[in-house]
Structure 1
């Protein structure tokens, strides 16, 4: 591309120089010849005013120095040379000038100018001046040489400017090409630098946006397997333990509740798979699922699911069911998954009792999960995928997945305190949902719904 830009620029400069140099060269030639004729004419006129009418009777004639003229002479009407230098007999220019006009001709390799000398309205002589054409031709060649030097200088400047512009145009394109090769080699973090050229800058921005979209798509695809394996592990383990407990029972009457619990665990597993699939395929920004479960019922199910697990470790789980708003629904599946991740994290890395409480923020609900442990970790790295809390050998997926699930609801998962460790899940609740729940609560006395 650089050579192409230079060739185009040099061609344009050459065309411009040709179109300008040829007329300028002709103008130089014409002006130099005209200047020399004017010089000869001035010399002849200066000499003519010094010619006395008595020169025909023998009065001596004093002619000025020829100056720029090679020859300066006075001719009588004969026409013969009476003073100065020149041919002994007047030429065609002298004979024409005897008619009372100024004659300008080129004769015998000379530029000739003849000026009549008048007295009493009669031509009494002619002053003839002449100079060699070769002298003017030398000046013309010198002028053309100067013109050629200026053209070469202009061409050199044009080439330098063209090369500079070629580099300025090619560098961002070469950078974009280099980044494309890096992406082809597998480096999805490569980004094209912005350019000062608007068109190339737009191409670079479009390239970066496309690469960002592709990176996000690939990230969702890569994370799906790890998300699914992580989130399915705990429910499957629980299901395995329940089934083993059921198989160890000998009384069929005692086996039925165990099987019902296994069925409930299987249902939770089904919901977990649905949430992981939804998160893996959610667009950006993700659509928030519809609110489908009361907060109180959600916390009761969470307490029922996790109370026994904490009790096995000699720890206590408290869910603040009595403080939760009874008229607000939340996306049950995603919120349950997030609370499950945070509770599993508290069980594995926390200490002491764990308390789950809900705060109404008039536009959002805040689910607080606090234990009695102290978290000694940089908060900025806590939610990084692959970074595990402590030295327990965890996968570092749970909190990152919970953060993505919260973002898919339009909310956020935050570490609000490190001593004691407290995680807060913010779930936005639309105002119309609150009005609908209040209206439903107002019809809770058995009155029929007018829209039913």
Structure 2
């Protein structure tokens, strides 16, 4: 769009320059010609007045007496009755001239070299061309500024709309001092808040329904299993049939929940984790440097995960922003390989999370500092939407673990999923706030690493 807008503005400028520049050039050419002729005429009239005064006094006309009035390179001729005289330069092949009639009815003609006229005409055309060029430069500059002022906000709004479509419902206070674009930004912010509220209500409702349904089904199964011990064969047969129907209902509920999770992850694609982390590092390393902090990103080569790039970048941005605002010391982002998931950890050297807050750190509206308490909840929602999981693996010093579904570069199908919303057993358990260093890492984590 920016290119089309710039092309349109430049085309309008060129049309305007052609429509105004050509007539201005013609007018300048003729104006210089008129000025040169006017100059010749004024000088010739002065010479004629001097000769007329001389003839009135002496009764004769001698052009030598006015030769000093003839500019160098010019020629003055007088002709009467086939007899003439001249002073000045040799006869000019091409010249500009003007003539008057003297008091003696003779013809007095003054010649000027045409080179002088052409030189001044081309100088005028050069000034016109310079003005045209300056107009083009100024117009292109204005076009660049205008296109940038329009396209950057539009690109920003498009990115915000894309983030909204990917599940990022944060609002932005940025405005662009353009009424129409500011209105679009306000509508996007309002839509983000409304959609976030509706989706959260639906998720809470679905979670509550699934929890209550599972609880009731589990109680029903236990009760039926007790009745299955009844000595009457008819009763046992009926109870067995009821248990079979209950098991089928449990499987249906589980399948519906699994299908909902798979639909949320449908937008996930295979992305290079090292490339995504390099983009994040480039974005945040200067921010950390300005704060006097260091950011280190370490990842094994050639890891491909199933995720949405925007969601992954936003979720990791939330963790890095938390580490910058509420943490301390150096921040390390490390990637460790496993099957079927990849573990991405973000750790800093700060005080971490208190015991009372640790169990609710991902709840909406819960924050240990002066913040909205939405960041970590959104980050977890982003990762879960792609079939992953975000956990607080250690409270002090804090270590956040992001479990991502690993994808085989030769296979477009996901290589695994998160059962029941939790990390698989391949990752060594590490309780929140437990003493010790890093979790126990099985042999697959020993792959060579590199700095992104």
- Does TM, normalized by the shorter one, top 0.5? no
Tell me the TM-score normalized by structure 2. 0.44
Instruction: Return the index of the structure with the highest Cα Rg.
Output: 1
Greater relative CO (CA pairs within 8 A, separation 6+): 2
Tell me the TM-score normalized by structure 1. 0.44
